[in-house]
Structure 1
Amino acid sequence: MDLIHQGQFNLTGLSKINVLLGKNGSGKSTLLKKVENRLTQQQVGEINYVTPERGGDLRYEAGVEQNVITGGNWTRDQKGRNQWGQFKNYSVAQYRRLETLSLREIETDQAIRANFAHTFNSTIDKINGLLTNIKIVRTPRGDFELFTVPGNQKLEARLISSGESELIALAIECLTFEKSCDPQRQNVLLLDEPDVHLHPDLQVKFISFLIDLVSTDKFSIIIATHSTAILGALLDYSDARFAILANASTDAAFRQIDQKYRAVLPIFGAHPLSNLFSQSPIMLVEGEDEERIFQQAIRSSNGQLKLYPCGVGGVGNLPDFETSVVEILKGVYDNATGYSLRDRDEGDEAIADIPPLVRFKTSCRASENLIVTDEVLETMGTTWANLEAEIEKWLVAPGGHVKHDIMTAFKASGYARKTFDLKEIRNILVGLTGSAKPWEIAVGQTISKIVRGQIPKDFNDNKLCNFLGTKLSNTLRP
């Protein structure tokens, strides 16, 4: 299945597991319900929409099972609601159907039947593989009971966590669907916000469960969510696709998770809730040096600097990464902000924002120039006057160094500390300070001092804020 097109909606590029990202109110549920309605009318195969708000508890209720058996479209009508207060009671009824389907599968599939170790307990093991502190155990009555792990103490359904009950109910639903599918037909499972009530770690477990389930090649899945933790769990799965749904759109172009998203999605996935993400936004930086600088600044700030630096592998990659981050910010979060930072090099310092992405350029040529600012030199235990004297001695030392011409050019520039290209001689300069600190650590520690107010924001020549630039300095410390 790579295309679902029915005039009123258009989904392209689909694979086995497809994630539809979008913030609340973007129309994810509406789109899934349209897909479910049209494909059900066409009778293409098994089509199952799973509602986002799944209430109830894991107790058997005869009335629910009776409605499933005799209620015609009762189950589909209940699932079509955004909230179903008896979903988990329905899951217990579905468990009975799951057992019947599993036993029929064993009976009719010669390869499975030949494996005497394969029983209905093999299916139960898949459910229990999602759980850590509890397990389900089948009973002679055709239902299941809950027990602690370890300890094997029987539990009442009302005593388990909402996350555990969610996983059990979703697992039963998905396993029942898989065993209902005719592999010769088009079967689609539509999961609306399966992340509800699930900690990000449990979301990752559930995605691993789904990957194993779709390996049977019987069906495909479309997941509507605003949790980037779910998408992050699919980073290494080749048959995953994702799309970001713009508000009220009925078109979704699904695509593979390329290198850009592999880099940025784990950062977004750490904060699936937009208010948390807004407190620690992503900052795209050119490379590993800048990433280490800001990692150190964050560590040294005692919680006052909250960013997630993400190296993009070079300035040439920044535009593509910026486009991807803007897409995620707009499609998943409400009122979130992201940042990107690049070196000035030889160009203009000014750079326009791409809302909600705030963009910076350093006022100095590159991050290496931060080494020779007055405050960073102080962090390394020296001053510019002392460093200049050491450079002069280095230049006249016998033997000649392969970088001698570059250091000579630095001197000839009048020691243009802000604009000279120091990349090739940065390690020599650090060595001449006498400091054992890596330069990225020293720069990061000094930035944290500005953030914490330990040193003033000074924009005079050769000061750190002057090199960082007004816009970035005022963002780091308003």
Structure 2
Amino acid sequence: MANIYITDIAVVKPADLGPTPWRVQGLRAITIVFGKNGSGKSRFLRAWRDQNPDWTHYIVPERTGNIEYQPNLLQQQMEGSQRSGQGQRNFLNNYREQIVTRVQVYFAARGNVRVDQLPGDPADLEARLSTLLPDFAIALSGTKNPPYAVQRASDSTAVQNIDHLSSGEAQVLTVGLDILTVAAIWDIEGRKNRLMLIDEPDAHIHPDLQVRFADFLVGVAEKYKLQVAIATHSTTLLAAVGQFSGEEAGILYLDRVKEECHIEPFDKYKKEMAACLGGHALMGPLFGVPLLLVEGDDDYRIWSQVPRHHKVSFATIPANGDEIDQFQKNLEKLFEALRENAPGPAGYALLDGDKAVPTANVDRPQKHIKFVGLGCHEAENLYLTDEVLALTCGKTWTEASAAIKERAPEFGDKADRLSEVESWDRRTVDLKGFMVELMAILDPKNVHWTIRVARTIGEKRPTGQLAEFLGESLVTALWGSVPA
């Protein structure tokens, strides 16, 4: 990613916070601003915004209003400096109306055409919003009033106003639309510098949605070449941003007294610490909710969303590759000190099916965190199970493989491997490097494959081929034994 337009800044403090400016060095592509209440995070972001209002966008922390289009707000959304003027305080009473109205400004800048050769493709915006809120289908239009349509994916019920959404859904939808429309307008205009300052995006958002928002934000920043700063109190959001952006992220511990502030890179040690502090994760086992330690971003995307369907409860902690072994050891030691007379494991460390599950012994205890193995090669293989295919495209494997073979010639150097689909063993085939093509072929809405897998796993206790690919040990660990 590495979209860094500013590395060092001096920001004038408000008079009540002291006479010297904040001097910040080593800004990252994504900087997470941490600090106590009263440390000046919001005023720091606004003062930073005021240095370059034409290419900086600030999102206020208190966001209210209804999701409706108001033509009288069009002029205020036309220019960056006028948009900046809307965020002079911590709150904006008609924030949501401003954002919905900006959709029309976006179409005025781009034209109401759907071709991906032009920057700011509306299909990309819709896909990213649907990934952020997979329970909804979201469509944008430059010719309709309002210039959007939102439907619940489960029953196609239209969302007409704010009362049809939870507070968290409303926040995520409008903040996501705010970020995307400004990013797309900048892309259409060819802005050289693009700085996005987001003040407490986690407000009113459940930790699971914060994880999805972090994934969304990192993807948008990479696609639209944004440098981002986020003010937050949430360790969940901190952990998730660090997980998805890695060392592209840094932490700024803001102090109202200190003048010199240095960004601390989000290295693997901070990632481990943040994962353990990530919202409610470590509290889960103390209240009977198990942990699930997973390796890799895609596994994290899947398993962090499964509990949202309210059929099973666990808290997910991400690790990367071989780090899962060290995480397991550290958590084993931690819970040995915290848990007494434990009746069973506090959680599980999930390994891909191509790895051997370690045997518990004195040197490698698994009293509190037990290793379990996936029943298939990797998480990608779950996408081709009968149950996930039924949800994704309503096809059997015979129909899906025929579709893959038919369209294989479209995909260049991957065509030969895709054309061999009929010989694949769905359980063991290595699908890394082919998921984008499989989504394009199999999913008419091109929803990210991890969301399809998470929903299928989460809707009910896995059965059939999905249960086989997950593996009996994993299904039993999380859902318990099959009732007699």
TM-score, normalisation: structure 1: 0.54
Q: Does residue 155 of structure 2 align to residue 151 of structure 1?
A: yes
Matches within 5 A, 1:6-405: 8-40=21-53, 45-65=54-74, 68=77, 75-103=83-111, 112-113=117-118, 120-139=122-141, 140-142=143-145, 143-157=147-161, 158-181=163-186, 185-216=192-223, 218-233=225-240, 234-237=242-245, 238-249=247-258, 251-271=260-280, 291-296=331-336, 298-300=338-340
Shift of 1:251: 4.0
Q: What code does the residue aligned with 1:38 have?
A: Q
Residue 175 of structure 1 aligns with an amino acid whose one-letter code is L
Equivalent residues of 2:109, 2:185 under 8 A apart:
yes
| CA–CA separation in structure 1 for the residues paired with 2:93 and 2:228 | 24
2-structure distance, mates of 1:270, 1:289? 21
1:21–1:244 Cα contact (<8 Å) kept? yes
Q: Show structure 1 runs of 5+ residues with no match.
A: 280-285, 309-435, 445-478
8 Å Cα contact 1:101/1:180 also seen in 2? yes
Q: CA deviation at 1:179?
A: 2.5
Q: Is 2:62–2:92's contact at 8 Å kept on the other side of the alignment?
A: yes
CA 243–78 in structure 1, closer or farther in 2 if over 3 Å, else same: same
Change (3 A) 1:65 1:293: same
- Report the CA distance shift for 1:216/1:159 in structure 2 as closer, same or farther (over 3 A): closer
Q: Deviations over 1:425-478 (max 9, x none)?
A: xxxxxxxxxxx995997999xxxxxxxxxxxxxxxxxxxxxxxxxxxxxxxxxx
For 1:90, the aligned partner's letter is: Q
Letter of the structure 2 residue corresponding to residue 160 of structure 1: L
Counterpart secondary structure, 2:137 = strand
Count of aligned pairs between the two proteins: 303
Q: 1:291: how far off? A: 4.4
Q: Which residue of 1 aligns with 2:466?
A: none
Distance verdict in 2 for CA 1:244–1:265, change over 3 Å: same
Would you say the 8 A contact 2:184–2:224 is kept in 1? no
- Write the deviation string for residues 207-230 of structure 1: whole angstroms up to 9, x where unpaired: 222222222464311111111222
Distance 1:146 1:76 in 2: 27
C-alpha distance in 1 between matches for 2:206 and 2:11: 36
- Deviation (angstroms), 1:119: 5.1
Report the residue type matching 2:59 in the other structure.
V
State the shift of 1:288 in Å: 6.9
CA distance in 1, matches of 2:244, 2:81: 39
Cα displacement (A) at 1:122: 3.0
Quote the residue 1:2 is aligned against.
7
Matched ranges for 1:417-432 at <5 A: none
The letter for the 2-side match of 1:46 is: W
One-letter code of the match for 1:80?
Answer: Q
Secondary structure of 1:154's counterpart equals coil
Secondary structure of the 2:272 match is helix
Query: Which amino acid is the alignment partner of residue 84 of structure 2?
Result: R
Cα 1:215–1:437 shift into 2, 3 Å: closer
Q: What's 1:332 paired with?
A: none
Judge conservation of contact 1:191–1:224 (CA < 8 Å) in 2: yes
1:129-162 CA distances to partner (integer Å, 9 max, x unpaired)? 2112222233541511221112212122221112
Alpha-carbon distance, 1:236 to partner: 4.7
Query: What is the distance in 2 between the residues matched to 1:104 and 1:137?
Result: 13
Root-mean-square deviation over aligned CA pairs: 4.4
Instruction: Provide the identity percentage.
Output: 23
Structure with the greater alpha carbon radius of gyration: 1
Q: What letter matches 1:20 in structure 2?
A: V
Q: Is the 8 A contact 2:24 2:263 kept in 1?
A: yes
Q: Per the alignment, do residues 291 and 227 of structure 1 end up closer, same or farther by CA in structure 2, a change over 3 Å counting?
A: closer
Q: Please, which runs of 5 or more residues in structure 2 have no aligned partner?
A: 1-5, 13-20, 288-325, 348-359, 369-484
Quote the Cα distance in structure 2 between the aligned partners of 1:206 and 1:147: 20
TM-score (norm 2): 0.53
Any conservation in 1 of the 2:221–2:227 contact (CA below 8 Å)? yes
